[in-house]
């Protein structure tokens, strides 16, 4: 009966946006780090975290023409959404739209501790969300993002944290769709910990099954959504080693068991994996010889930006080198999203 909750026109609009973002061979640049998080990306490169550096850096990324054939959408944070180009005063959402890139906006308001759990978290931001979404849509956003974070540990993730986060993701997705924004649903299972690959797969399957039950309960129109999950990998302190192919197979198996075929795209987060591994995993995932009904691509933050920041160093004289790094990473991940990346590329 979900069809009755959104008009046919809205369904068509949402599914068109979701399908364009999930265009094969393209992915998303996550440039939505709020000021507090970008601090942790700027600091190791000795880049001062001030508003003009944040604006200039994003402008540099958004104006890199040669990256556009591999980037379908870019996620912005609130501050960047209202920034403008320095020469012609164009708002960033307008700049992106004119370049054929779909602008998106992170609408959650970060994590707080979920009481009654072992320091697990819940995501804030539902209050006033509808008004904010309408305003973002009016100003050019076509999609939104909300991140829930879950961790694997002795008592975690608890079923309470899984259920509560799934329910908030579903409520967020429903509000976005009413406002004409495609919701990216991001239930991230963290890389932290010493768990093995099998444990990550088990937890990821449970989380995704719970999220899709909640989306169904809220009558969310799946054709007008995208999923942004973690790649299924062992924890970063795990002592066992696995091949890239084993990781890819565990990942595809988990999604085949839990993600409906109506979802047009699964756009992975990089989650702390380095650039090389993020590309290698995505490539291998696309080469797994199993039926995969969705586009399997990227929505990377760090894996598309670490080398760019290292080249830029906060100095305008390094802009060309920084742009070249961005083109290289966008191209490699674009190829990986088709399973066509070779180390020599
Ligand atoms: O894990 P990555 O690929 O670097 O970033 C994934 C991401 O969801 O996490 C960040 C922090 O919330 C966001 O800026 C970004 O969209």
- Model pTM greater than 0.95? yes
Instruction: Note if 186 is an active site residue.
Output: yes
Whole-number pLDDT of residue 1: 44
Catalytic residue among 223, 228, 249, 325: 228
CA 111 to ligand 1 center in whole angstroms: 13
Whole-number pLDDT of residue 329: 98
For a mutational test of ligand 1's pocket, the pick from 190, 301, 305, 329, i.e. the residue with the most ligand atoms closer than 8 A to its C-beta, is 301
DSSP at 156: B
Which residues of the chain, if any, have pLDDT below 70? 1-4, 344-345
Confirm whether the ipTM is greater than 0.85: yes
Query: Is ligand 1 within 6 A of the CB of residue 146?
Result: no
Whole-number pLDDT of residue 343: 72
C-alpha to C-alpha distance for 305 and 311, rounded to whole angstroms: 10
Express each pLDDT in 230-288 by its tens digit.
Answer: 999 999 999 999 999 999 999 999 999 999 999 999 999 999 999 999 999 999 999 99
Whole-number pLDDT of residue 3: 45
Query: Is ligand 1 within 6 A of the CB of residue 300?
Result: yes
Contacting residues for 276 by C-beta, under 8 A, at least 6 apart? none
Express each pLDDT in 119-138 by its tens digit.
Answer: 999 999 999 999 999 999 99
Query: Is ligand 1 within 6 A of the CB of residue 270?
Result: yes
Instruction: Note if 16 is an active site residue.
Output: no
Catalytic residue among 186, 205, 223, 275: 186
C-alpha to C-alpha distance for 228 and 270, rounded to whole angstroms: 10
Measuring CA to CA, which residue among 204, 200, 207, 194 is closest to residue 160? 207
Whole-number pLDDT of residue 54: 98
Give the chain's domains with CATH numbers: 2-336 (3.20.20.70)
For a mutational test of ligand 1's pocket, the pick from 28, 123, 147, i.e. the residue with the most ligand atoms closer than 8 A to its C-beta, is 147
**Measured CA distances, 154 to 217, 229, 238, 272 (Å):** 30, 22, 14, 21
Whole-number pLDDT of residue 5: 85
Query: Is ligand 1 within 6 A of the CB of residue 187?
Result: no
């Amino acid at each position: 009966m979900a069809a009755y909750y959104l008009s046919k026109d809205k369904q068509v609009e949402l599914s068109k946006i979701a399908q364009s973002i999930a265009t094969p061979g393209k992915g998303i640049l996550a440039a939505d780090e709020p000021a507090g998080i970008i601090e942790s990306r700027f600091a190791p490169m000795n880049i001062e975290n001030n508003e003009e550096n944040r604006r200039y850096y994003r402008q540099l990324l958004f104006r890199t023409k040669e990256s556009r054939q591999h980037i379908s959408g870019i996620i912005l944070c609130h501050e960047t959404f209202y920034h403008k180009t320095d020469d012609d005063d164009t708002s960033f959402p307008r700049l992106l739209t004119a370049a054929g890139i779909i602008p998106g906006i992170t609408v959650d308001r970060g994590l707080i501790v979920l009481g009654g759990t072992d320091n697990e978290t819940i995501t804030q931001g539902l209050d006033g969300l509808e008004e904010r979404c309408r305003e973002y849509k009016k100003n050019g956003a076509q999609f939104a993002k909300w991140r829930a974070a879950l961790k694997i540990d002795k008592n975690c993730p608890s079923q309470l944290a899984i259920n509560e986060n799934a329910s908030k993701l579903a409520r967020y997705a429903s509000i976005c769709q009413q406002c004409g924004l495609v919701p990216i649903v991001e239930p991230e299972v963290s890389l932290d910990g010493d768990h093995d690959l099998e444990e990550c797969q088990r937890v990821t399957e449970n989380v995704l099954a719970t999220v899709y039950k909640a989306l169904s309960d809220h009558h969310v129109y799946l054709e007008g959504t995208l999923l942004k999950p973690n790649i299924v990998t062992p924890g970063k302190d795990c002592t066992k080693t696995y091949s890239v192919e084993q990781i890819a197979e565990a990942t595809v198996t988990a999604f085949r068991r839990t993600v409906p075929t109506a979802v047009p795209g699964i756009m992975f987060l990089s989650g702390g994996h380095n650039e090389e591994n993020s590309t290698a995993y995505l490539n291998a995932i696309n080469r797994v010889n199993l039926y995969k009904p969705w586009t399997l691509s990227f929505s990377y933050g760090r894996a598309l930006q670490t080398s760019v920041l290292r080249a830029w160093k906060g100095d305008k004289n390094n802009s060309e080198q920084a742009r070249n790094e961005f083109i290289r990473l966008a191209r490699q991940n674009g190829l990986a999203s088709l399973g066509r990346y070779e180390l020599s590329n």
